[in-house]
Amino acid sequence: MSIVAGTSEFAVIRPDKDRFLAEENPFEAMMSRFDYAAQRLNLDPGLYQVLRHPEKQIITSVPVKKDNGEVEVFTGIRVIHNSSRGPAKGGIRFDMNVTLDEVKALAAWMTWKCAVVNIPFGGAKGGVICDPSQLSMSELERLTRRYTSSIIEVLGPDSDVPAPDINTNERVMAWVMDTYSMHKRHTVTAVVTGKPVEMGGSLGRREATGRGCMLVTRQALARLGMPLQGARVAVQGFGNVGSVTADLLAKEGATIVAVCDKVGGVYDPKGLDVADMLAYVKEHKFLTGYPKGDAITNAELLTVDCDVLVPAATENVINSKNAGQIRAKIICEGANGPTTANADKILEDKGIYVIPDILANAGGVTVSYFEWVQDRGGYFWEEDVVNQRLERIMVRSFDEVAAMADRHKLNLRIGAYMLAIERVAAVHQLRGMYA
Ligand code: NAD
């Protein structure tokens, strides 16, 4: 049965759309692209229903004894969107902005992302509503351990494998792994990825997302007949993803003309020195005051004259208000959900080539998959092996998404969703419905 927008049939499969109308709602951002791709695929309505509903949503209270002896109760969330292709995979974020809607959207994005790069994982996401900057290290450890134990029944190398996300890191993953292992009475390294290398992490994981962004940008430039040598690149966000992308693109010969972080940024059309900026940030925390180049704001960075724009910070930064002013020819979405669905149309009308998040930043989960494989095999790979295998997967995935987009005369984002939905749907159809 076909799914056609505007018909009553469509209304039936999307009964609660009005609840999610805000442009900045990440669930809306995900669902509107999913709906369109599902419609183009003539996805079976029953399967549509299955894929739009997360398999499991856990909301849990996380009581933590503070250093001053008082107890504070936080709210923790874990959503497993889909596990048909393998264990669910997705990060844990600690942030005041965590909501169930956001976690649901991020979990579904993980399902599509893992399917785009064709690794045997489903999608999940988790979070705790908290401000980690207000917690001491020991409070953060107790919060992590209590949250882990409260969702422990879903965790496991064969069922749900977390990773770092906003405000969580290798340190937090080590606590998750230790808590899980204490409950299981033996060491289980494969229960999380993004761990320290000393305890089962993978070489190349820290750089993997930025390396993936560099690789797909290289593919996109080649496809558009633009040279990488001298390509002018602007990067929003100078954390893990942004700084590594900038560094690797510069090493490939691109000119990094602008970079910014949460506080502000710098611009120099002749090119910025990434290593020098990294050294500055290490000392001063933020780019503000960096002496070489002109100071620019976050908003200005998005609209500077450049060939490639890499939003690698946070969600909804490219929206209906600023999409019309963007001058880049290519956007490589290092962040998750940096572009709202409303902005998609504006960018497309301007002829901007967007490499969507579920492809562009999939290098991270790809090397997480390598980490899980290495942990389970107990055999660890050299860094160049990790990087070569990552490159093969990113290049192949870019080509497969581009081929799907070309075949249907659609943009890469919808091409990526279609490829992902097709792969997840195929597994559902083969497995059938357990009743
Ligand atoms: P990070 O915390 O290391 O860095 C974030 C950077 O963005 C910092 O420089 C911060 O100052 C800056 N920033 C925050 N808000 C900003 C704003 N409003 N404007 C400009 N800059 C801002 O985080 P990260 O790991 O680099 O993740 C960045 C994005 O990439 C997130 O959306 C994350 O979900 C996504 N992502 C990360 C990975 C990974 O492996 N780290 C993988 C896939 C996707």
What distance in angstroms lies between residue 39's CA and the mean position of ligand 1's atoms?
A: 32
Residues with CB under 6 A from ligand 1: 165, 209, 236-242, 260-262, 298, 312-314, 334-336, 361, 364
pLDDT number for residue 358: 97
Strands 160-164 and 330-332: unpaired
* Cα-Cα-Cα-Cα dihedral sign, residues 202, 203, 205, 206: positive
What distance in angstroms lies between residue 411's CA and the mean position of ligand 1's atoms?
A: 25
pLDDT number for residue 22: 62
pLDDT digits (tens, 9 = 90+) for 17-41: 333 346 777 777 788 899 999 999 9
pLDDT number for residue 18: 38
Taking phi over 0 as left and psi of -120 to 50 as alpha, with beta for the rest, 314 belongs to beta
pLDDT number for residue 31: 84
Q: Across 165-267, where does the E strand assignment appear?
A: 232-236, 255-260, 265-267
pLDDT tens for the chain, residues 1 to 435: 233 333 333 333 333 333 334 677 777 778 889 999 999 999 999 999 999 999 999 999 999 999 999 999 999 999 999 999 999 999 999 999 899 988 998 999 999 999 999 999 999 999 999 999 999 999 999 999 999 999 999 999 999 999 999 889 999 999 999 999 999 999 999 999 999 999 999 999 999 999 999 999 999 999 999 999 999 999 999 999 999 999 999 999 999 999 999 999 999 999 999 999 999 999 999 999 999 999 999 999 999 999 999 999 988 999 999 999 999 999 999 999 899 999 999 999 999 999 999 999 999 999 999 999 999 999 999 999 999 999 999 999 999 999 999 999 999 999 999 999 999 999 999 999 998
Distances (CA, A) of 303 to 217, 233, 324, 326, 327: 18, 12, 9, 5, 6
pLDDT digits (tens, 9 = 90+) for 226-285: 999 999 999 999 999 999 999 999 999 999 999 999 999 999 999 999 999 999 999 999
pLDDT number for residue 102: 87
CB count, 10 Å around CB of 55? 18
User: What span, in angstroms and rounded, lies between the C-alpha atoms of 359 and 401?
Assistant: 8
| C-beta of residue 339 within 8 angstroms of C-beta of residue 354 | yes
Q: Which residues are catalytic?
A: 125
Taking the mean position of all CA atoms in its chain, how far away is CA 232? 24
Token pair listed for 275:
């290593």
pLDDT number for residue 8: 32
Is residue 57 classed exposed, middle or buried when 0-12, 13-18 and 19+ CB atoms within 10 A define those classes?
Answer: middle
pLDDT number for residue 180: 98
Taking the mean position of all CA atoms in its chain, how far away is CA 189? 22
What distance in angstroms lies between residue 166's CA and the mean position of ligand 1's atoms?
A: 7
**Comparing C-alpha atoms, which of 421, 395, 399, 424 is closest to residue 412?**
399
Token pair listed for 360:
């562009």
User: What span, in angstroms and rounded, lies between the C-alpha atoms of 42 and 400?
Assistant: 20
Per 3-state DSSP, what percentage of the chain is helix, strand, and coil (rounded to 5)?
A: 50, 15, 35
Report the largest interatomic distance among the alpha carbons of the chain, rounded to a whole angstrom: 65
State the closest ligand 1 atom to the C-alpha of 242, by its place in the atom list counted from 1. 26
pLDDT number for residue 10: 32
pLDDT number for residue 329: 98
State the closest ligand 1 atom to the C-alpha of 91, by its place in the atom list counted from 1. 34
Which letter does DSSP use for residue 333 in this model?
Answer: -
Which letter does DSSP use for residue 273 in this model?
Answer: -
pLDDT number for residue 92: 97
Cβ-Cβ contacts under 8 Å for 384 (sequence gap 6 or more): none
DSSP per residue, 37-95: HHHHTT--HHHHHHHHS-SEEEEEEEEEE-TTS-EEEEEEEEEEEE-SSSSEEEEEEE-
pLDDT number for residue 266: 98
